[in-house]
């Protein structure tokens, strides 16, 4: 079963910006809020200030892949938006992953051992 859907509507982004919690690292800002679903919804924002379309799309791919690799360790039932900051284009895949680990950990979105039903 698919564990993540995309957030696409502008009103959903705005709602999450104003009503959700947030945390920032050097290259990423995360906005998050509990939803009433059994899946996560993911939104990505990369401003035109960051670079041209090729650069912005590359950053989005890096963030999506880092999220995909961590998806099994993230609590379900949340709307999550990642916003790339100006430091993001100079970061490598692993540095973005480290920043993602930092913000997800600070927000308490990682599963703990007792929350994970798949462990024996």
Residue 98 backbone phi and psi in degrees, to 5: -65, -45
Per CATH, the number for 4-107 is: 3.30.230.10
Domain residues of the chain, as ranges? 4-107
Q: CA 47, CA 84: separation in Å to the nearest integer?
A: 7
Please state whether beta strands 40-45 and 78-84 pair in parallel, antiparallel, or not at all (unpaired): parallel
Residue pLDDT, tens place only, 63-114: 999 999 999 999 999 999 999 999 999 999 999 999 999 999 999 998 876 5
Q: Whole-prediction pTM value?
A: 0.88
């Amino acid at each position: 079963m698919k564990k993540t859907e995309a957030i696409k509507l502008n009103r959903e982004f705005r709602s999450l910006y104003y009503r959700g919690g947030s945390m920032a690292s050097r290259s990423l800002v995360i906005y998050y809020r509990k939803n009433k679903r059994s899946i996560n919804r993911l939104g990505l924002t990369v401003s035109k200030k960051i670079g041209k379309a090729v650069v912005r799309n590359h950053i989005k791919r890096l963030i999506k892949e880092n999220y995909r690799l961590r998806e099994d360790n993230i609590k379900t039932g949340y709307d999550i938006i990642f916003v790339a900051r100006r430091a993001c284009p100079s970061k490598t895949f692993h540095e973005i992953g480290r920043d993602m680990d930092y913000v997800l950990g600070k927000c308490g979105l990682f599963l703990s051992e007792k929350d994970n039903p798949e462990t024996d």
